[in-house]
Amino acid sequence: MSLDPVLLAVINGRLEQIADEMDATLFRSAFNPIIAEAHDASHGIYHAHTGATLVQGSNGLPVFVGSMAGAVRLAIATMSSDSERRGGRADVDGAVESGAVRDGDVYCFNDPYEGGTHLNDLKMIRPFFRGGRIWCHLASVGHFTDVGGNVPGNYNPAARDIQQEGTLIPPVLIRRAGETDERVVDLVCSISRQPVNAYGDMQAQLNALDLGARRLGELLDEYGDDVVREALDELTRRAATLMRSSIDKLPDGVYRAVDYLDNDGSSADLVEVALTMTVDGDRLRLDFSGTSGAVTGPINISHSTAVAACYVGLKHVFRDVPANFGCLEPVDIVIPAGSLLAATRPRPVGGYTETILRVMDLIFRCVAEADPAASNGCSYGTINALSLAGQRADGSPWVMFTFYGGGLGGSPVSDGLNHGNAPLSTATIPPVEILEAQYPVRFRRWSLRPDSGGDGKFRGGLGASYDIELLAESAEAFTFGDRAWRPPLGVAGGGAAATNEVSFVVADDVIEPELGAKVLGVKMTRGDRVRIESPGGGGYGPPSERDAAAVERDRQLGYVTRGDS
Residue 180 in any domain: the answer is yes
Q: What is the pLDDT of residue 86?
A: 66
Last residue of a domain, one of 238, 263, 287: 238
In whole angstroms, give the CA distance from residue 343 to residue 299: 10
Q: Check residue 565 and give its pLDDT.
A: 43
Residue range of the domain that includes 466: 376-565
470: β partners: 441
**Assigned domain for 359 exists:** no
Query: Whole-angstrom Cα distance, residue 515 to residue 267?
Result: 8
Strands 271-280, 172-176: parallel, antiparallel or unpaired by DSSP? unpaired
pLDDT one-digit tens code per residue, 392-418: 888 889 999 999 999 999 999 999 999
CA angle 10, 12, 18 (to 5 degrees): 105
User: Model's pTM, two decimal places?
Assistant: 0.94
Residue 525 has pLDDT above 60, yes or no: yes
Residue 291 lies in a domain: no
Report strand pairing: 331-334 vs 283-287.
parallel
Query: Are 489 and 377 spatial neighbours (Cβ–Cβ below 8 Å)?
Result: yes
**Is it the case that residue 429 has pLDDT exceeding 50?**
yes
- Per the domain annotation, does 511 fall within a domain? yes
Strands (DSSP E) contained in 288-342 are 331-334
Residue 49 and residue 93 in contact, taking contact as beta carbons nearer than 8 Å: yes
The answer to whether the CB of 504 falls within 8 A of the CB of 477 is yes
Query: Which residue, of 238, 271, 288, is where some domain finishes?
Result: 238
With vertex at residue 359, the alpha carbon angle to CA 353 and CA 362, rounded to the nearest 5 degrees, is 140
**Residue 119 falls within a domain, yes or no?**
yes
Phi, psi of 307 (to 5 degrees): -60, -40
Per the CB < 8 A criterion, the answer to whether 308 and 261 are in contact is: no
Query: Are 330 and 236 within 8 A, CB to CB?
Result: no
High-pLDDT (> 70) share of the chain, %: 95
Kindly state the helix (H) or strand (E) to which residue 337 belongs, with its residue range.
none
Whether 339 is in a domain gets the answer no
pLDDT-derived band of residue 366, with 50, 70 and 90 as boundaries? very high
Roughly how many angstroms between the first and final C-alpha of the chain, as a whole number? 58
Looking at residue 198, what DSSP letter applies?
Answer: H
Q: What is the pLDDT of residue 146?
A: 95
Quick one: average pLDDT of 77-93? Answer: 69
Mean pLDDT of the chain: 93
Phi, psi of 76 (to 5 degrees): -60, -45
pLDDT band at residue 114 using 50, 70 and 90 as cut-offs: confident
Question: Looking at 80-84, 249-253, 288-292, which range is the least confident one?
Answer: 80-84
Report if residue 328 sits inside a domain. Answer: no
Decide: 10 and 16 in contact? Cβ < 8 Å: no
In this structure, are residues 115 and 109 in contact, taking their beta carbons and an 8 Å threshold? Answer: yes
pLDDT of residue 508: 87
Q: 19 lies in a domain? A: yes
Last residue of a domain, one of 184, 205, 238: 238
- What is the total count of domains within the chain? 2
Mean of pLDDT values over 3-27? 95
Stretch 143-148: mean pLDDT: 95
Q: Is the pLDDT of residue 564 over 60?
A: no
Q: Environment class of residue 15 by beta-carbon count within 10 Å: exposed (0-12), middle (13-18) or buried (19+)?
A: buried
- Residues 46 and 53 sit within 8 Å (Cβ to Cβ): yes
Tens digit of each residue's pLDDT (9 = 90 or more) over 90-110:
443 444 554 589 999 999 999
| Banded pLDDT at 324 (limits 50, 70, 90) | confident
Top pLDDT among 25 and 428 is at 25
| pLDDT over 60 (residue 502) | yes
